[in-house]
């Protein structure tokens, strides 16, 4: 079921089924009221419905952010090495997971394929949009020295200037924006940075995110989904301290404060614009909700995997998921059933984890299509 949701929901088959059904209705009605007017009216009904479905299929998704939404831009990373992608598509394909990530589920919700990574823009079809997100990046520069969100938006603007996408393309499209986890990781790893300094840093992140969101909207996107910050205190790289028994609340408070400020800024932007351009995706509470559900199931059945524990991890501290030694031998281990895990490795979700989060975000995603795109 999860793989099915992750795949493209074919519009063509829906169109064919609808046309065949309407043709049967026309035939039946024609026997009762064999008038040219009736046939013409029914013809226009079919035409209007099919055109409406085609418009839905023309929705494009433009993605900005980090590894949670990257589907292949970081080509020299572990996302292109085993065991990444073992569940979907079956081999490493650039996702920081064993399978689908948030972008894939949102694309399937929009009934399109996941947009092509920007790095492959010259050799692939761009009809579903483009994914500019890069693993390891942030709102600001991070330790990974990859293109931050400002640079990603620069790339987007350049494509618009090159007329790769029309104004109509942009007006009917959706943007997905998710970033900040790597910003906090970078901040805390740099020398002379203290937890007391976090509030000021958060304010600067939110200010820059506001600039980024305004800019994406000014380029023509009228529907923008914004991910709130995940509970970073629940990441396995941190919960390992407690043998994966509990989240670290001081770090979760950072996420909570960031998310509250980001929610406030999106509400203010919507009020300023006079329309609901920005829709927030509450990753913070979604993560916690799925974790709580999985922990409850585990309390009823101790054989189930601890959801705070990573499915894939190095055999010792000097190794990580995907590590091999100089002989090419694996230096990592996998959980018995990845399909029942929440975390794939130290910081990323498994396909099962993302599916659980997606089901909770579903009601928020519906607001992306309830009003005219």
Domain layout of the chain by residue ranges: 61-284
Higher pLDDT among residues 157 and 5, named by residue: 157
pLDDT in tens, 27-38: 444 444 445 444
Mean pLDDT of the chain: 87
Q: Which of 64, 362, 365, 37 is nearest to 212 (CA)?
A: 64
- Whole-number pLDDT of residue 11: 31
Q: What is the pLDDT of residues 302-314, one digit of tens each?
A: 999 999 999 999 9
Q: Which residues pair with 332 in a beta bridge?
A: 314
Residue 56 has pLDDT above 80, yes or no: no
In 3D space, the residue among 124, 126, 171, 147 whose CA is nearest the CA of residue 65 turns out to be 147
Say what percent of the chain tops pLDDT 90: 79
Residue 325 is encoded by which pair of tokens?
Answer: 């030694």
Could you give the count of Cα atoms lying within 13 Å of 126 in the half-sphere of its Cβ?
20
Q: In angstroms, how far is CA 358 from the centroid of its own chain?
A: 9
pLDDT of the residue at 371: 54
Residues 6+ away with beta carbon under 8 Å from 73 = 94, 117, 118, 119, 131, 132, 133, 134, 135
Question: What is the pLDDT at residue 124?
Answer: 74
For the record, the structure tokens of 239 come out as 């919960």
Q: What is the pLDDT of residue 368?
A: 84
Quick one: DSSP state of residue 357?
H
Class of domain 61-284: alpha beta
Average pLDDT over residues 50-70: 75
Q: And the tokens for 54?
A: 């085609």
Q: What percent of the chain has pLDDT over 70?
A: 84
Summarize pLDDT for 261-299 with one digit per residue, the tens.
Answer: 999 999 999 999 999 999 999 999 999 999 999 999 999
Per-residue pLDDT averaged across 320-327, rounded?
95
**In the structure, what pLDDT confidence band is assigned to residue 6 with cuts at 50, 70 and 90?**
low
Strands 174-178 and 332-334: unpaired
- The more confidently predicted of residues 138 and 58 is 138
Residue 6 tokens read as: 């992750």
More confident site: 192 or 354: 354
């Amino acid at each position: 079921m999860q793989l099915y949701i992750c795949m493209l929901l074919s519009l063509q088959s829906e169109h064919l089924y609808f046309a065949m059904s309407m043709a049967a209705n026309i035939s039946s009605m024609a026997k009762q009221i064999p008038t040219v007017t009736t046939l013409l009216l029914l013809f226009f009904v079919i035409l209007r419905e099919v055109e409406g479905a085609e418009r839905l299929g023309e929705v494009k998704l433009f993605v900005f952010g980090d590894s949670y939404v990257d589907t292949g831009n970081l080509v020299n990373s572990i996302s292109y090495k085993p065991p990444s992608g073992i569940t979907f598509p079956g081999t490493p394909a650039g996702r920081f997971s064993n399978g689908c990530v948030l972008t894939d589920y949102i694309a399937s919700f929009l009934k399109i394929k996941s947009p092509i990574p920007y790095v492959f823009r010259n050799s692939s079809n761009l009809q579903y949009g483009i994914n500019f997100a890069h693993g390891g990046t942030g709102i600001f520069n991070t330790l990974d020295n990859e293109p931050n969100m400002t640079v990603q938006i620069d790339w987007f603007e350049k494509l618009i200037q090159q007329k790769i996408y029309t104004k109509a393309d942009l007006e009917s499209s959706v943007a997905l924006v998710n970033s900040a986890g790597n910003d906090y990781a970078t901040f805390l790893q740099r020398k002379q940075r203290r937890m007391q300094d976090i509030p000021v840093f958060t304010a600067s992140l939110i200010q820059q995110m506001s600039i980024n969101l305004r800019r994406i909207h000014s380029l023509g996107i009228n529907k923008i989904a914004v991910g709130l910050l995940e509970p970073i205190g629940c990441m396995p790289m941190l919960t390992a301290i407690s043998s994966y028994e509990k989240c670290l609340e001081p770090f979760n408070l950072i996420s909570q404060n960031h998310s509250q400020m980001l929610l406030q800024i999106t509400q203010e932007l919507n009020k300023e614009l006079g329309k609901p351009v920005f829709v927030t995706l509450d990753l913070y509470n979604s993560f916690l909700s799925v974790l709580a559900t999985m922990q409850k199931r585990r309390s009823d059945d101790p054989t189930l995997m601890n959801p705070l524990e990573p499915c894939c991890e190095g055999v010792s501290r000097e190794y990580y998921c995907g590590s091999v030694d100089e002989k090419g031998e694996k230096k990592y281990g996998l959980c018995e059933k990845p399909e029942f895990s929440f975390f794939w490795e130290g910081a990323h979700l498994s396909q099962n984890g993302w599916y659980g989060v997606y089901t909770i975000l579903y009601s928020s995603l519906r607001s992306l299509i309830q009003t005219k795109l």
